[in-house]
Amino acid sequence: MARHPLAGQSPPESMLVDVDDLLDAYTARSPDPAVPAQRVSFGTSGHRGSALDTTFNEDHIVAVVEAVRRYRVDRGIDGPLFLGIDTHALSAPAKRTALEVLGAAGVDVMVAPETGPDGGFTPTPAVSHAILGYNRGRRSGLADGIIVTPSHNPPRDGGIKYNPPHGGPAGTDATRWIEAEANAVLEAGVETVRRISVDRALALDTTHTHDYLTAYVDDLGAAVDLDAVREAGVVLGVDPLGGAGVHYWHRIAERWGLDLTAVDTTLDPTFRFMSLDKDGVIRMDPSSPDAMQRLLGLRDSFDVAFACDTDYDRHGIVTREGGLMPSNDYLAVAVWYLFQNRPDWGEGLRVGKTLVTSGMVDRVARSLGRGSYEVPVGFKWFVDGLVDGSLGFVGEESAGATFLRRDGTPWTTDKDGIVACLLAAEILARTGDDPARVYASLAERFGRPTYKRLSAPATAEQKRRLKSLDADDLELREIGGQPIETVLTHAPGNGAPIGGLKITTADAWCALRPSGTEDIYKIYVESFLGPDHVDRIAAEVEGIVGEILSPGSRPLREAP
């Protein structure tokens, strides 16, 4: 795909979302459940859409929250529900709608105080941390949570996801149940759902304010050695990207005595302060060099700097020497460091990774005597291993990760961008090397992989065909000039369907999967034999896909 001419630059006024129109559409437009695109659809992380497209409107939130309420009753979940939101324009009205439904049902709801130091916003990891903290040692009266966020998606989007009592993203069984029930509500009409006014809901004794910020920040030392960071005098910079954790950084610096500067604490639902992503879209993605232009321009001012996406479950690490680290590189560094510097972690702990995460993670893990636990795309697949303590670190190529507390017990069971960022500071403080230099030493030892992700448009039928592929559908013996060692349709870690397939050779791998939330399919390629080998494999896979989807196939483009 050709790079957008404005990539990396500030967006012109014409590209900014009209927030008033967006908010009007939230209440004015009603989805038609007979239109597939307007139904509730849970992808890898909840339901997402835009009010302007009639895919994320008040009716959707009523239906999803009512479905969650019914799920709680069906599963006997009767503890408090922790409710958090990010800073997207649609998140605040969706929160109000959720409170109207939950309040009418008598559910105990825990919300951040809107006049508090966090501004009423709650990072995804703070919700997961709160659920785990409340449920620790309990066998009944368990808590769960709802998080209103479309992650790093553009400002016009909204999203909502459910986290059960284990604190992490809901599994497939739960999301299918909630999705089906929500669509049944849409079909019956949302007027069948009991609601009360938001003012009345806020006044109920079942609606409680919860200090997510203090509980999370005061506990950070249990996951990251912030005393070492303070004592080493590491100079830190952070670009909050106008997200849910924008007010957390000052408290973190104050509580732990860190030399940490937030370069801009602006909150603006148009996100006009962002630089445009590679495709010319405003996207709060901390792993994108184009979206991170502001912090990259300041990298010489700090020993290490970082950013998170809008709900703070993704990380981006900027170093003086390396600039913005590719997310795969940083995951490998985190594995190398953590498993050598957490003496209370058990010997049997493994490294969790999605099947499209770099093979460098596997090589580093093996060198440390640790096994890899490879799962399909989606953080939900890591939850059980984090809860039972069999996985020490888990990560995915799209810059999502979390890890255990220093004592080997669960910290969060959802992605945590904050601890992933602060770990970079610990690595520098304890080793004297910034993470980019650490990765360079790993590449010298294990080889330097080249990684590429591609995407192309695909219809629902084409996505269905790709998702149902079987190893026997490919009459291949080699790819990229190397014999094929495995063709996987199920993840080797947990045996769950990939929803596509992965091909491996001695020095490379490629994976093909349809997106769960967009009308596209994705191809991932990595090789330890250089960029020419990656391009060769990508071209061969493109030809394979073309044959499968012909005549409706479209050329691949490099994903943003």
Q: Which residues are annotated as catalytic?
A: 151
203/209 Cα distance (integer angstroms): 11
Residue 455: predicted pLDDT: 86
Containing 468, the helix (H) or strand (E) segment is: none
- 330 has pLDDT over 80: yes
Which range among 167-171, 364-368, 427-431, 496-500 shows the weakest confidence by mean pLDDT? 496-500
Residue 23: predicted pLDDT: 98
Q: Please tell me the number of Cα atoms within 13 Å of 401 on its side-chain side.
A: 35
Note the pLDDT tens digit of each residue in 211-253: 999 999 999 999 999 999 999 999 999 999 999 999 999 999 9
463 compared with 311, residue with greater pLDDT: 311
pLDDT, mean over the chain? 94
556 compared with 107, residue with greater pLDDT: 107
Contacts 24+ apart (CB under 8 A), 197-202: 197/100, 198/96, 198/97, 198/99, 198/100, 198/103, 200/103, 201/99, 201/100, 201/102, 201/103, 201/104, 202/99, 202/103
* Per-residue pLDDT band at 558 (split at 50, 70, 90): low
Which two tokens mark 510?
A: 């490629």
Residue 517: predicted pLDDT: 62
Exposed, middle or buried by CB within 10 Å (0-12, 13-18, 19+), for 355? buried
DSSP 208-277: EE--HHHHHHHTGGGTS-HHHHHHHT-EEEEE-TT-TTTTHHHHHHHHHT-EEEES-----TT-TTSPP-
Closest residue by Cα to residue 81 from 7, 193, 162, 27: 162
Bond prior to 551 in cis (omega within 30° of 0): yes
Considering just the CA atoms, what is the radius of gyration of the chain in Å?
Answer: 23
- 457 has pLDDT over 90: no
Give the Å distances, CA to CA, from 332 to 292, 394, 410: 21, 11, 21
Residue 127: predicted pLDDT: 98
At residue 4, what is the residue type? H
Note the pLDDT tens digit of each residue in 31-49: 999 999 999 999 877 999 9
- 365 has pLDDT over 60: yes
3-state helix, strand, coil in the chain (%, to 5): 35, 20, 40
pTM above 0.85, yes or no: yes
Note the pLDDT tens digit of each residue in 276-307: 999 999 999 999 999 999 999 999 999 999 99
Note the pLDDT tens digit of each residue in 393-403: 999 999 999 99
* Per-residue pLDDT band at 120 (split at 50, 70, 90): very high
21-35, 453-467, 492-506, range with greatest mean pLDDT: 21-35
Residue 358: predicted pLDDT: 97
Note the pLDDT tens digit of each residue in 498-557: 988 999 999 999 999 887 667 788 899 999 999 999 999 999 988 888 887 775 444 445
319 compared with 546, residue with greater pLDDT: 319
557, β-bridge pairs = 455
Closest residue by Cα to residue 349 from 329, 365, 334: 365
461/391 Cα distance (integer angstroms): 37
Average pLDDT over residues 379-387: 96
HEC readout, 389-435: CCEEEEEECCCEEEECCCCCCCCCCCCCHHHHHHHHHHHHHHHCCCH
Residue 556: predicted pLDDT: 46
Which two tokens mark 174?
A: 């739960």
520, β-bridge pairs = 457
Containing 328, the helix (H) or strand (E) segment is: helix 327-338
